[in-house]
Structure 1
Amino acid sequence: MKALAENPVQPDASAEQGTAGAVLLVDDSRVQRRILRLLLERWGYAVTEAASGNEALEICHRRNVDFIISDWMMPGLTGLEFCTRFRALEKADYVYFILLTSKSETGEIVHGLEVGADDFLTKPVNANELRARLSAGRRILGMQNALNEKNQMISAALDELQGLYDTVDRDLMQARKIQESLLPERMNRFGKTTVSMLMKPCGHVGGDLVGVFSPGPNRLAFYNIDVSGHGVTSALMTARLASYLSGRFLEQNIAVMKRFDRFFALRQPQEVAHILNERLLSDNGVEEYFTLAYGIADLMTGKVRMVQAGHPYPAVQRRDGSVDFVGDGGPPVGLLPGVEYQSFEIQLYEGDRILLYSDGFTESECETGGMLEEEGLKQMLVAGASSTGPEVLDELFWLLNMRRKDEPLKDDVSAVLLEYGGPE
């Protein structure tokens, strides 16, 4: 059988040995290998020969090639079997595989493509057609190499991004610990009265803030703040507000004033809201604002005076379990200059309690998209009327999660519960 069809082949005088690529020539016929080798080397290819599929596999384990030209019919491993085993090898770069065959049946050609052959040439081989097929293969390998380089660049970029993400993630975890350290204990006792708190950020850090402090016996202040937005910027604002309303350092607390250099007195809630509003507006570049529910309680009389600045209406639950929402509304803090905030009064009796909460509760959506709203919160409070302390807030948050099923939090959730135990 002739290895080449009788067509004139033009030599490539400018081709240097091996510059066109590396070819592994697999054929049990030494004559056919020699003829094809002469052509390939004339075209600038570096050629390695193998007399069988098994020998070719051994060569493929030791060195890299760009092309494989293999006869289909060979003793031992056929060209098809060799192709199948070769494709099973782990190779970093793609190799273009051409089968030489006398078969012309469509089914056989399809089978060859399925096991990994890229192209076919019918014997006797037409030299010009072989060269054209190799040129097409070089274009494909060029695109493949360019794609591999881009994939490597993408992989390196992803690795770098992952490293940056891990760094940010560690920083955010530390920021969360710092933010948690700004909060008082979950439950605080003031004589017979208890104040419980809940804060559940929707991310690593949150924009909600809860707190309570007491400047002396039978007096306390409690608050719930919701800063606009989410994430780091909001968390930084809560850290700042926590310093303004610190229970550990009353000298720095804007909500108290020192009397006669001996004791601290609580400012009125509307005055506190006004001071916070003016401070926030005086800072250039700060675009955040926040909603606020802030109250002061006289534990001897049960009187609570509050200011509501854009925050959800406080819920008052009486000893018999009934729930009412109270408040006069008002604009958020940090939006408008010169705002005059108004306060209102609530009379608590022994066994009554008041709940401050962020809109993460009432605006929480269920599976069907409906919000909890005040009516849903009221039903939860009535159902949990027998619970006390942090257990009340844990039950509310659990019921909230049950409504959402597997949906993650879309907003921070926070609450403060004051349970009045009567005077000492």
Structure 2
Amino acid sequence: MSKILVVDDQPTNWLIVRRLLQDEGHQVTVAKDGAEGLLQAKQTQPDLIVCDWMMPVMDGLEMCRQLKADPDLATTFFILLTARDAITDRIRGLDAGADEFLSKPIEPNELKARVRAGLRLRQLTQDLQAQKQALELELAEAAEYVSSLLPPQLTGTVTTAARFIPSRQLGGDCFDYYWLDSEHLLIYLLDVSGHGLRAALPSISILNLLRSQSLPGVDFRQPHEVLKALNETVQISHQDDTYFTIWYGVYHQSERRLTYASAGHPPAILLSGSGAKLKTERLRTPAVPIGMFTDLQYASASCEIEPASTLYVFSDGVYEIEPDQEQAWGLDAFVDLLMTHAPASPFSWDQLLQAIQTVNGKNTFDDDFSLLKIHFS
């Protein structure tokens, strides 16, 4: 049984409409003007409203406008009764949120047919909302699962901080860091092409592949070997046009040496020294992203890590920000910002994130945002 509210200041009209709809098996309540109709709508939550346009206190147009502005009532199907035939009047009604019009005097069969059609559309809307809520719940659970895969902070001779902000509920960025053994710390960050679920699934797959070290015959302390094996494993012809960029590094603790390789990824930024002697290095090896071409060779490079150095590894969503439509922020500006927050103040991490958010100027980023900070004591 559907709940229907009839709003009309003429008793003869609402008596007729109520009787016709009750005969159809509906539960019908009545209001005598728009203000009373709004109160009853909030109390009874009707599935459909049949409302006259011209009424005292509050007319049907204003009632419709206020009803549609209420999130709890916005999906209520609203039929506006009117003797007006002008196109401009119907446009006004549609702009106010009316879903259907019914001309006066009322023709009983047309009223019943339009009510049946309105209730069908109302049910479809409710079904779509239920499906949307279920999908959002599943995506939220998936996002929570992805977050649970990200590594905890490291403490000790090497300390870490990390932030991941997907541009949607799910993102294609992923990162990890952990000790391969007592001497070698693995650090990497990858960025799968695309956004959302389509990018998140291969990203998780690659993370699991690397974390389980399931690339046969590969020395995971040699970045170029890892990238070559990944490129042989992930090809766009087999992965639904998916490719990804990656920065992969291994820190040898006793030698204080970082060996790294990258594939189409932004350079990691190494800050060392302090004050006037603060210096930056951009760590990157030239290579195309993983999965685009077969039979590629990748090269490793290395550098010495001075005491109290800080390494930043990130995706391009960190600096490809457009604070205005004329010019993007860019990598150089991001490096300048890093230098102002260097090298390892206990407060600099939050300040850095806040500064980037200020540049972005909005609550969400247009691309997935991933930023790692690794401090070597």
Compute the TM-score of the two structures, normalised by the length of structure 2.
0.70
Larger radius of gyration: 1
Q: Distance in 1 between matches of 2:14 and 2:140?
A: 53
Report the number of matched residues: 304
- Give the match for residue 157 of structure 2: 192
The alpha carbon displacement at 1:94 in A equals 6.0
The alpha carbon displacement at 1:58 in A equals 9.4
1:118 matched to 2:75: no
- Give the match for residue 288 of structure 1: 242
8 Å contact from structure 2 (residues 310, 343) kept in 1: no
Q: Distance in 2 between matches of 1:195 and 1:171?
A: 30
Change (3 A) 1:394 1:332: farther
Change (3 A) 1:280 1:373: same
Change (3 A) 1:290 1:392: farther
SS of the aligned residue for 2:154 comes to strand
- Give the match for residue 301 of structure 2: 344
The alpha carbon displacement at 1:322 in A equals 2.9
8 Å contact from structure 1 (residues 309, 333) kept in 2: yes
- Give the match for residue 366 of structure 1: 323
Question: For residues 58-207 of structure 1, what are the structure 2 equivalents within 5 Å?
Answer: 63-64=19-20, 92-93=49-50, 118=83, 137=104, 147-185=114-152, 187-189=153-155, 191-207=156-172
- Give the match for residue 416 of structure 1: 372
The alpha carbon displacement at 1:388 in A equals 4.2
- Give the match for residue 254 of structure 1: 215
Change (3 A) 1:339 1:95: same
Percent identity over the alignment? Answer: 21
Q: Distance in 1 between matches of 2:308 and 2:334?
A: 19
1:398 matched to 2:354: yes
Output one character per residue of 1:158-215: Cα deviation in whole Å (capped at 9) or x when no partner.
2111111111111111101111121110x213x4122332211112111100101212
Q: Distance in 1 between matches of 2:106 and 2:122?
A: 24
- Give the match for residue 312 of structure 1: 266
- Give the match for residue 65 of structure 2: none
Q: Distance in 1 between matches of 2:171 and 2:16?
A: 58
> Which residues of structure 1 form unaligned runs of 5+?
1-52, 66-83, 98-115, 120-135, 258-264
SS of the aligned residue for 1:205 comes to coil
Change (3 A) 1:183 1:141: same
> Which residues of structure 2 form unaligned runs of 5+?
1-8, 22-30, 38-47, 55-80, 85-102
Change (3 A) 1:412 1:117: closer
SS of the aligned residue for 2:234 comes to helix
Q: Distance in 2 between matches of 1:92 and 1:225?
A: 53
RMSD: 3.5
1:279 to 209, 223, 233: 233
Change (3 A) 1:323 1:94: same
1:188 aligned partner, one-letter code: L
The alpha carbon displacement at 1:95 in A equals 7.3
Compute the TM-score of the two structures, normalised by the length of structure 1.
0.63
